[in-house]
Amino acid sequence: MKKHKTLYPPLIFNIFKPARMTSYDVVRHFKRHLPQGFGKIGHFGTLDPFACGVLMVGIAGAARLNDFIHEFLPKTYLAVGKLGVETPTGDLTVEPTQIDDSRYLKEEISRLPLEFIEEKLREKFLGDYWQAPHKYSAAKFEGRALHEWAREGVEIKKEAVLRHVYDIKVVKYSFPYLSVRVRVSSGTYVRTLFADFAQYLGTLGTLVSLVRESVGSEVHFKKSIIKKNWPQDKTEDVMKFAIPVNQVLPFQEIILNDEQEKLFKNGGFFKEAHFAELHGSYFWVTSSETKRLLGLMYRKEGELRPKINFNSDDLADL
């Protein structure tokens, strides 16, 4: 089968996904309306239909960086939740199944100072955090999201996974509503985290709204492409919003001369000693002649080895 030439370098779109739309809906729209020559397309981390905010979509090989986005770029969310209620979905898109009508909630938790809540949550939850995906999340089982299974009456329980909570900031507390900004590792389910917050305070809790505000330091919702600016009819206008992948992941750049470039494209290894002052484990590779981004290398046993070659479908093994 003949391959169509990719006209663009690896690029990322910072898109604002509206609530009540799936991440796949966004990718499908862009796939249909981007100009010709964008190559393969994919997103970096599902955002649940209930939530809104930053959804990163990559083209021209950028989606091959998915694991690196998840590993190196924490995500920041603004969660607004309601204390004293619990729903099966972890949000108020359905009716509560349990309500806390205790005096402790009404007379004690309702009067807690904002600063006290923040201090207690930070003491308990900052750092490593074990969490299993919520049954109404977009985590996958046998190729389907858990929320699809749950809506068919099938509850899939997955094992808890180690996550990390980098920061917790209580933005507002107007009982029974608690607004919390959290910065967490990729894969953390904030509806579950908020329920755990509420449980630690001594009550129930469910989300009212959730906004993914940023991924890393470069991709923020204030710079996202809102829906009215999404591409239409394959026009080039949207390309002005695209971000080169090496601006998103902060790896050191290595510039290769013509001979080195040929070696890299053929899967060759380089001695570390050939490059001065290397920092980190991964390195962007750029052509000195064309200035184009060629791919990614990694360190192993005193060598730099190709990890991703944007001119090839092959990936090296770590």
Chain mean pLDDT for the chain = 90
The pLDDT score that the predictor gives to residue 1 is 41
Domain ranges of the chain: 11-72+218-247, 77-204, 251-309
Task: Say which CATH architecture domain 11-72+218-247 belongs to.
Answer: 2-Layer Sandwich (3.30)
Residue 169 pLDDT > 70:
yes
Residue 67 catalytic? no
Residue 285 DSSP one-character state: E
Over the stretch 118-148, which tens digit does the pLDDT of each residue have? 999 999 999 999 997 766 666 676 677 766 7
The pLDDT score that the predictor gives to residue 5 is 62
- pLDDT (average), residues 99-112: 96
Cite the DSSP H helix spans in 237-312.
Answer: 245-248, 258-265
Which CATH number does 77-204 carry? 3.30.2350.10
Over the stretch 21-76, which tens digit does the pLDDT of each residue have? 999 999 999 999 999 888 899 999 889 888 999 999 999 989 899 999 999 999 99
Over the stretch 189-245, which tens digit does the pLDDT of each residue have? 999 999 999 999 999 999 999 999 999 999 999 999 999 999 998 988 899 999 999
- 48, 100, 101, 128: the catalytic one is 48
Residue 315 pLDDT > 50:
no
Q: What is the dihedral of CA 13, 14, 20, 22, to 10 degrees?
A: 40
CA 315-13-211 angle, to 5 degrees, is 110
Task: Say which CATH architecture domain 251-309 belongs to.
Answer: Roll (2.30)
